[in-house]
Structure 1
């Protein structure tokens, strides 16, 4: 389905000529590769004990493999990947990333020591850093701004689906292949079961990586391959747009922080306070978390796309601010009610409103950014999100819990964090509304359009 270039009501911006069939094919391929990435990164969590036993690892060493080896290189890799995506062929850069993490997964399967396993996990992390910035750079090329929210929400679901698929596929593989047993491969090799599982997951990735070459790489602005391909250009633009970017980033990080904290510490809450077993918590939270996000996120995106098409230029951030305000009392009540069933329902509902952070702020960021700086903008957010949310948010809850009296107070700690961070997110997002309208209409506060804004508008 070809969509010709046409004027929209959204501030006089023009929708880019796109082929929606190619666009949805791109969403499908990127989503499939994202599911693969989540499977590869999560596989080790299911193989902890056999890997520790065979490689004679300590708890600290395994913790380093699960977190530090992957996380550090995931975030370090984001910056050079963002530069490469804006400078070279995006499908080629994504192919390299998928190939690198697949080789890393294979490396985990043949590792014979902590150091080689660490290096392999680092390859997995650095390769997987390509998916977020790559998708954010490519998708705006195939969807006009008024349709981008829904497309991005569908792609964003791949992470949630991938987490479920990782446990399902990994669990099935662990059932069919004893991770601790010895298995003969083609009469040539004897491998431990966990090694064979890593190889079975890693090798197909080398072939699936070639799917990305089905995605065309639309021509970007003329400056993309010359001067505007480094982070100095991004930071010059960020300096002009700081009134939009600062509250945008803070609002996103506050919501992401409490979302991560709730997922991290809610299992402990249900075990300590409500007495559920590990198996009961896993099943109940898995359903509540997935259902709330999978059902709600596309609905939110559809509503926002329609309002944006009608000229509501700040709707992505305005809608997110209102959604997190609705989520706040639901999140607080999750840890206040005495019924475990009601608590899980409230948890699901809070996630249904909170999940907008997975899509809407990234969509408006890519609408604002010129095409040759999109991946860099996404990479910066990825690094900040990793450090301030994945790194600090769970620690914040732990500190508050300890300050309030110990492990049984984790529910109160989560209540306090939700009561502070979600309204704070809405408050900071409100400061980005006027600047984003000014950028998209070309009417800055001084009454004239800066050069960077002209670049952003030309990209659309």
Structure 2
């Protein structure tokens, strides 16, 4: 496969990641009208943005990863994109908490196909010296997608505010529901493009790359044999994911409720920060992993991830006390820059420390914990603190800062604990080869 084709596929997968995060994160900016129209609490909204998405995203990721280790990954990816796009369209027609919860479950089910299959595919087509950079490029999609979700959502809400509801085939559509309809359509097109254009990689002689997927029991046995690395690695990135997902899910509410910003301003300000600072952090992180590795720092992924986690603490502490909006936005930009650091080193470790035949399965294990602990746990915890500890929706800033600072600090400590086991495993791998 030519270098240009390889990187073209990486960019295409990044586009899929963009759409997945648009469909995932559009909900955060719509918290006001959704709470008003459906009559839900912060705890219920936390369940919608966290648990509903995570249930099938986490659980289905494990069997889907097994398929990705054995069968054509582009077909699996294309099918997943189609499912989550149709489910996002379905969110435009809901009129109750239960209906929205079900469609968010389906969005998570579709998105469960993407990351394990893509990580495994990229590791098969990109040389190891450039793997950190390739993972960074793919990871850009999460922040570009999040930024576009907030920008599009803010723009649509500002254009439709005060407009009457629509009647589509007898169904009453509120203005906020149009956001789901608009962002769900492009995924159907991208699904067709990936299905028709992307193929499994082949060897130099034109033969298909041999992939013999390991069973889940074999994969789990490998994980247990190397638990000194994988337990702190998985738990560390789960806590760090809690920080990032909490920022994405609840910071719009902080800016709108506590600081009185309109959805349109929040969409462009927060969306711009997510794109610029998130993208910059991911690119910096990927380059740092590759540079430190090339200079002989064997624990480069753990060092890079810990730097990112600790870099979040100070700006989030300032956000917890600051009143001036410019100060809050500056600190938010710094926090987002560092919060994005751990993504490339996490995927780097999954691909270099795991045999090829079980990469997708162990990637799915990490995503399971990230989704259930990082996404669902963080989103629920903030809503619960608002409703049952501080007893005020205006305490959302305090709840967010407590969760972000605590989870980042724990994550950094766990990553540093996994550094030596990672170095030993890499030394053993080089010795065997």
TM-score w.r.t. length of structure 2: 0.81
Alpha carbons 1:182, 1:190 under 8 Å: kept: yes
Specify the alignment match of 1:422 in structure 2: 408
Structure 1 residue aligned with 2:65, among 66, 82, 86?
82
Q: Does 1:209 align with 2:184?
A: no
Where 2:297 maps in the other structure, the secondary structure is coil
Task: Write the distance in 1 (CA, Å) between the matches of 2:12 and 2:300.
Answer: 28
Note closer, same or farther for the CA distance 1:232–1:316 as it changes in structure 2 (3 Å cut).
same
Specify the alignment match of 2:110 in structure 1: 127
Number of residue pairs matched?
421
Specify the alignment match of 1:431 in structure 2: 417
Q: Does 1:218 align with 2:218?
A: no
Specify the alignment match of 2:372 in structure 1: 387
Q: Does 1:316 align with 2:301?
A: yes
Task: Write the distance in 1 (CA, Å) between the matches of 2:99 and 2:396.
Answer: 37
Task: Write the distance in 1 (CA, Å) between the matches of 2:394 and 2:34.
Answer: 32
Alpha carbons 1:146, 1:306 under 8 Å: kept: no
Cα deviation 1:9-29 (Å, max 9, x = unaligned)? xxxxxxxxx743122111111
Task: Write the distance in 2 (CA, Å) between the matches of 1:67 and 1:420.
Answer: 19
Specify the alignment match of 1:145 in structure 2: 128
User: How far off is 1:384 after superposition?
Assistant: 0.7
RMSD of aligned alpha carbons: 3.9
For structure 1, the residue ranges without an aligned partner over 5 or more in a row are: 1-17, 184-188
Q: Does 1:237 align with 2:219?
A: no
Task: Write the distance in 2 (CA, Å) between the matches of 1:410 and 1:117.
Answer: 23
Where 1:313 maps in the other structure, the secondary structure is coil
Structure 1 residue aligned with 2:269, among 258, 280, 284?
284
User: How far off is 1:231 after superposition?
Assistant: 1.0
Specify the alignment match of 1:12 in structure 2: none
Task: Write the distance in 2 (CA, Å) between the matches of 1:131 and 1:90.
Answer: 9
Task: Write the distance in 1 (CA, Å) between the matches of 2:274 and 2:10.
Answer: 22
Alpha carbons 1:22, 1:142 under 8 Å: kept: no
Cα deviation 1:422-446 (Å, max 9, x = unaligned)? 33222211121111111112179xx
Task: Write the distance in 2 (CA, Å) between the matches of 1:404 and 1:119.
Answer: 29
User: How far off is 1:232 after superposition?
Assistant: 0.5
Specify the alignment match of 1:181 in structure 2: 166
TM-score w.r.t. length of structure 1: 0.76
Note closer, same or farther for the CA distance 1:247–1:68 as it changes in structure 2 (3 Å cut).
closer
Structure with higher RCO (Cα < 8 A, 6+ apart): 2
Cα deviation 1:300-340 (Å, max 9, x = unaligned)? 21122122123322101112213322332232223234433
Structure 1 residue aligned with 2:142, among 159, 170, 180?
159
Alpha carbons 1:34, 1:162 under 8 Å: kept: yes
Where 2:420 maps in the other structure, the secondary structure is helix
Alpha carbons 2:285, 2:342 under 8 Å: kept: no
1:326-337 map, 5 Å: 326-337=311-322
Cα deviation 1:105-156 (Å, max 9, x = unaligned)? 4555678998887665543331121111122111111222221122211211
For structure 2, the residue ranges without an aligned partner over 5 or more in a row are: none
Per mean C-alpha deviation after superposition, the further-off stretch among 196-205 and 317-326 is 196-205
Per mean C-alpha deviation after superposition, the further-off stretch among 433-442 and 37-46 is 37-46
Alpha carbons 2:282, 2:340 under 8 Å: kept: yes
Task: Write the distance in 1 (CA, Å) between the matches of 2:182 and 2:249.
Answer: 29
Cα deviation 1:166-205 (Å, max 9, x = unaligned)? 355566677599783246xxxxx77766798866665654
Specify the alignment match of 1:11 in structure 2: none
Specify the alignment match of 1:73 in structure 2: 56
Query: Which one has the largest radius of gyration?
Result: 1
Cα deviation 1:35-77 (Å, max 9, x = unaligned)? 2333444567788999999xx96648x9677665543222222
Structure 2 residue aligned with 1:378, among 346, 356, 363?
363
